[in-house]
Structure 1
């Protein structure tokens, strides 16, 4: 249902609700917003509860984790941004709930309970609903049972309204035909394209002009904020030189390796089975299997043939009795004990279980190649060294974090880590990655929340870095002698814009009348035939304009690809009915997606008509 829903409903409102439908468990967050006594207001007359806040917080956290990984928490979101996200999430959930209620699609509490009883998560070992498991699970998630029932009721009601809209999504054949016709319509265009870089390169610029531009546009030459850091970098490789791994540890590790290898042994068996209920006397069945074993060992009968003619295990007869592999716990205990005394190819004595009687054949042994102590010494030493180093890094990291919380300075931490600090030059944010390779959240060190004297620890794959901000160098107007080339480039760019304006005056005449007007260097006339809305030979914003106007119209546009275009639409060729029919299957999924997105948008707009929002008290509380 959810996958279908994602394809069908992609509007803002429906997006925030998708997570709510993931029952039996609602993703609850640890928001510090308010308490159970806080009045959060209403949406469309429906009360916003503390449970709504928790559910919405959990959905926001889950959405961010899908992008940034499971380690992400909502605490990393700016407080004001989080409040905006929280409000949007709550509104989305409540307007779906409101729509279900107003359209008579809300399910009853009893129906919600009936669904909950079906959830496997609340069943005992006898596959029956357990109220004790239910209560323990729900309370462990921070909810009262009544609150969880209410959430499931809302979730299933949301399913109802979404299913209703989904089922009403009727595709009219004429709409599909019109869509294919529009996508397959081809147009011919004639245009002038201006390459701004080439035009700029043709412009002269003197130092006098550059200095004049510099004096009149000094904000253009405002430097980036720079920051200076002191840091201590601790790598595992630094610690390893002081760690000694003795031979006793290596020997113990090798013994663990041998034991693990034995545990990894897989044994495969086949069997012949007789049902006790099919015999008046169990001894009769035992005698049959003993006689069968004797014939197999004497070469009078193959095990496979014996399975086909004798075994009463319908599930394994076609597999010649094969039961697969076990590492010591997959087969009945009686089989496993018998295998301890068997070799590959051997056949067991008769094995009696509660309802059946068997003989088994040990058919295959899978085991890891056991390397000698000498062969494993180097790799085990390295493994132990890495483990010991990682443990020491973790200990030091925990100590450093405790010291920082206690107000320790970077100088104190130098003593803790027995390592001197280094100092960077004042650097811009873009250059910080060059100093600290592998940092994921560079922007945090340039935020207003990170001020001189603040210390942070950044974990890395091979250690960690302790960083202190020592100085902020505010943006300032750079000296002219340091930005001469930039000033000259700006002068050339300004002059190139003048050239563009000149071409504006006669471009239409050149395109429509094949004027003999010569174009400056950097301006080129081209003709493209039979372009479609999907063509890649010009940028999408130009294509959108080409197909939004009529044949014979002219326009100019500064495209996001950095070029300027003057375009004349020459003619249009629509596809034939035959071509449309030929393309129908090709465009089927594409049109359905287009139609779904359009209907989703319309549904979202409809839901938000007369929306009444009175949400309050969402500002995070101090923790």
Structure 2
């Protein structure tokens, strides 16, 4: 069983998962934070527009998420891995899935989304939902509750659609048996290696050879164009020492928060149940009201609310639970229901209430004190920090506005910096491809490459490089690209020439080995040609990396040999350019040890999940083929926005 798991979770499996998950992992929690934004339309999917600004926002959020998970990740690798084109593919797939879910009449109501929000740990304090924390978290991301709920609904609809394919696949015991036979199969090999790196020592390179190569390939040995860059920086942190918050300020803010909480009813909640009679294609408003009245009469005649809900309610999420919606706070339900709930005492049932969903009968069974505002002493430090941050941001925003105007009005940064009271910082000579902190942000590099800054030598616009941090740059001086001195590159040239000659030797011996194999040569004869010994490795498994991935994959691609026989000899190049000749000497199928019932059930579920993933990839591919998708990839680059 362990070998089977290793097979399905090996390198091939990881690549498979990446292909499945990557287009969708960029939605999830971050999917709630995409706004409409402005910018050129880079794609239109089933009538829905995707703008460049939305793609760029999602790119940065995904990169931020990966930076948090791997703080030491190489920024250049991150930029090359999370590309706008890749993110756009994911956004297009999301829109296609949402359109397909809508066509399939899938639904996830705002009420269901609101109930789910209560379970999010991020919005809880002491294990209970905190409306203050909820609003604070959304506000910090520039969101409204309605926008968050809409994003949550969309994510759940996508998951419903995906689960419809993923959760309905299964595997048969015969499939599992065959997978185990192949997946847990092991093979033994004999092989000889012609090591390219070892061959380097057989060759010498003269100084004349190095000089000739240097002269003939001058363009490869150029120091890139370099610049001295000036910049000014504004940061909210720099203003915190300039503001103060008194005890009176803290007390006044506490009273404001307490009043808001009391007026909003956030400190109380009610345990609510309802009966929903839907308005749909088979029932208009008048018919729904008539049915709701019948339900009310059944309750008045002595029927329990739970029994009547089971008989009359069209809400599949609550009908079988007596209509129970749980404990809800103010703002969680439609306004019409909120007004009715506010007028009910525990045990009372409302008159029919009409909302967009239909006609409701509502019962309040209890009023609970959900939470109290912490005391002034408990909140004082947080309030002081919030006020200080807010006042620092106010000063920052004032200087941002002033500096933007001054940078536009002046040809250099000296006067703008003096007017705002900040320092102009100058770098040493740097290339634009390796800018130091804090200039390494992608937006800064784009600004330095713009005609405004690089060609016309004007100040850049003020760039927000991070929340509360702004930069402007200008170029003080430039140094054109120039050849690197020969002594600086002679070692690299020597090694390159040795490598090229070793590669030529490998190619020559490869041709000789091919000829010998065609004549029926043995592995011993190939080892003699390569002037090296024969090595053996037992128990190779699929996806292994020893002696090399190419050799392992090749060995498992060969036909199964009869017991006691060896396969034909194969030649293959490995990643470093070396040449390997190998043959399979033994094959042993997997599935030797029977699985327990529990192990077999787990393995069948895992195989069914893999099949479901494959099917869903095919579904997305079909949606892509048949969907109305119009891409404008050239607009992904801001430099082409005006073209």
**Structure 2 length as normaliser, TM-score?**
0.51
Q: 1:533 to 1:62 in 2, by over 3 A?
A: same
Give the distance between the partners of 2:47 and 2:65, measured in 1 at CA: 29
Conserved in 2, the CA contact under 8 Å of 1:191 and 1:566? yes
Conserved in 2, the CA contact under 8 Å of 1:41 and 1:47? no
Q: 1:504 to 1:405 in 2, by over 3 A?
A: farther
Which residue of 615, 622, 631 maps to 1:599?
Answer: 615
Matched, 1:558 2:573: yes
Q: Which deviations, in whole Å up to 9, do the C-alpha atoms of 1:15-65 show, x marking residues without a partner? A: 656787879x9544142147xxx9x9964xx43268x99988876665454
The Cα shift of 1:106 comes to: 1.1
User: Superposed, which structure 2 residues align to 1:223-302 within 5 Å?
Assistant: 223-230=223-230
Conserved in 2, the CA contact under 8 Å of 1:227 and 1:471? yes
Give the distance between the partners of 2:601 and 2:512, measured in 1 at CA: 46
Matched position secondary structure for 1:190? strand
Matched position secondary structure for 1:193? strand
Matched position secondary structure for 2:94? helix
Matched position secondary structure for 2:525? coil
The Cα shift of 1:198 comes to: 3.1
Q: Which deviations, in whole Å up to 9, do the C-alpha atoms of 1:197-223 show, x marking residues without a partner? A: 332233100122122222333333243
Q: 1:470 to 1:541 in 2, by over 3 A?
A: farther
The Cα shift of 1:537 comes to: 2.4
Give the distance between the partners of 1:614 and 1:607, measured in 2 at CA: 13
Q: Which deviations, in whole Å up to 9, do the C-alpha atoms of 1:361-395 show, x marking residues without a partner? A: xxxxxx99xxxxxxxxxxxxxxx9xx99x999996
Conserved in 2, the CA contact under 8 Å of 1:533 and 1:543? yes
Give the distance between the partners of 1:421 and 1:444, measured in 2 at CA: 15
Matched, 1:212 2:212: yes
Q: Which deviations, in whole Å up to 9, do the C-alpha atoms of 1:156-201 show, x marking residues without a partner? A: 6544432321232112222222222223211222223344333223
Matched, 1:410 2:426: no
The Cα shift of 1:154 comes to: 6.5
Give the distance between the partners of 1:228 and 1:524, measured in 2 at CA: 57
Query: Number of matched residues?
Result: 434
Q: Which deviations, in whole Å up to 9, do the C-alpha atoms of 1:80-118 show, x marking residues without a partner? A: x75x5675355323432444466xx3147xx84774686
Give the distance between the partners of 2:394 and 2:197, measured in 1 at CA: 53
Give the distance between the partners of 2:497 and 2:216, measured in 1 at CA: 12
Q: Which deviations, in whole Å up to 9, do the C-alpha atoms of 1:214-273 show, x marking residues without a partner? A: 233333324334333345799999999xx99xxxx9xx99xx9xxxxxxxxxxxxxxxxx
The Cα shift of 1:592 comes to: 5.9
Look up the match of 2:556.
Answer: 547
Conserved in 2, the CA contact under 8 Å of 1:192 and 1:566? yes
Conserved in 2, the CA contact under 8 Å of 1:235 and 1:464? yes
Give the distance between the partners of 1:464 and 1:42, measured in 2 at CA: 33
Matched position secondary structure for 2:414? helix
Conserved in 2, the CA contact under 8 Å of 1:541 and 1:559? yes
User: Superposed, which structure 2 residues align to 1:444-459 within 5 Å?
Assistant: 444-445=444-445, 448-449=449-450, 451=454, 452-454=457-459
Look up the match of 2:535.
Answer: 526
Conserved in 2, the CA contact under 8 Å of 1:231 and 1:467? yes
Unaligned residue ranges in structure 2 (runs of 5+): 1-13, 70-78, 119-128, 130-134, 251-376, 379-383, 561-566
Conserved in 1, the CA contact under 8 Å of 2:186 and 2:540? yes
Matched, 1:572 2:589: no
Matched position secondary structure for 2:559? coil
Matched position secondary structure for 1:174? helix
Give the distance between the partners of 1:192 and 1:507, measured in 2 at CA: 12
The Cα shift of 1:426 comes to: 4.5
Q: 1:566 to 1:618 in 2, by over 3 A?
A: closer
User: Superposed, which structure 2 residues align to 1:12-411 within 5 Å?
Assistant: 26-33=32-39, 43=45, 46-48=46-48, 62-68=61-67, 84=85, 88-89=89-90, 91-100=92-101, 105-107=104-106, 112=109, 115=112, 158-230=158-230, 399=399, 402-403=402-403, 405-407=405-407, 408=410, 409-411=412-414
Conserved in 2, the CA contact under 8 Å of 1:191 and 1:565? no
Matched position secondary structure for 2:211? helix
Q: Which deviations, in whole Å up to 9, do the C-alpha atoms of 1:393-447 show, x marking residues without a partner? A: 99689747842552252333564557575451345744x44xx4x7653794376
Give the distance between the partners of 2:165 and 2:607, measured in 1 at CA: 18
Q: 1:445 to 1:233 in 2, by over 3 A?
A: same
Look up the match of 2:126.
Answer: none
Give the distance between the partners of 1:235 and 1:164, measured in 2 at CA: 49
Matched position secondary structure for 1:191? strand
Matched position secondary structure for 2:162? helix
Matched position secondary structure for 1:557? strand
The Cα shift of 1:617 comes to: 12
Q: 1:544 to 1:211 in 2, by over 3 A?
A: same
Q: 1:398 to 1:482 in 2, by over 3 A?
A: farther
- RMSD of aligned alpha carbons: 5.9
The Cα shift of 1:615 comes to: 5.9
Q: 1:472 to 1:184 in 2, by over 3 A?
A: farther
Unaligned residue ranges in structure 1 (runs of 5+): 1-6, 71-76, 122-126, 128-132, 257-366, 369-383
Give the distance between the partners of 1:22 and 1:419, measured in 2 at CA: 39
Q: 1:21 to 1:465 in 2, by over 3 A?
A: closer
Give the distance between the partners of 1:429 and 1:61, measured in 2 at CA: 19
Q: 1:394 to 1:167 in 2, by over 3 A?
A: closer
Give the distance between the partners of 1:203 and 1:64, measured in 2 at CA: 46
**Structure 1 length as normaliser, TM-score?**
0.53
Give the distance between the partners of 1:460 and 1:114, measured in 2 at CA: 35
Give the distance between the partners of 1:444 and 1:14, measured in 2 at CA: 31
Q: 1:96 to 1:543 in 2, by over 3 A?
A: same
Q: Which deviations, in whole Å up to 9, do the C-alpha atoms of 1:504-554 show, x marking residues without a partner? A: 134465983412864668x66422122112434233343223222335244
Matched position secondary structure for 2:445? helix
Give the distance between the partners of 2:549 and 2:144, measured in 1 at CA: 50
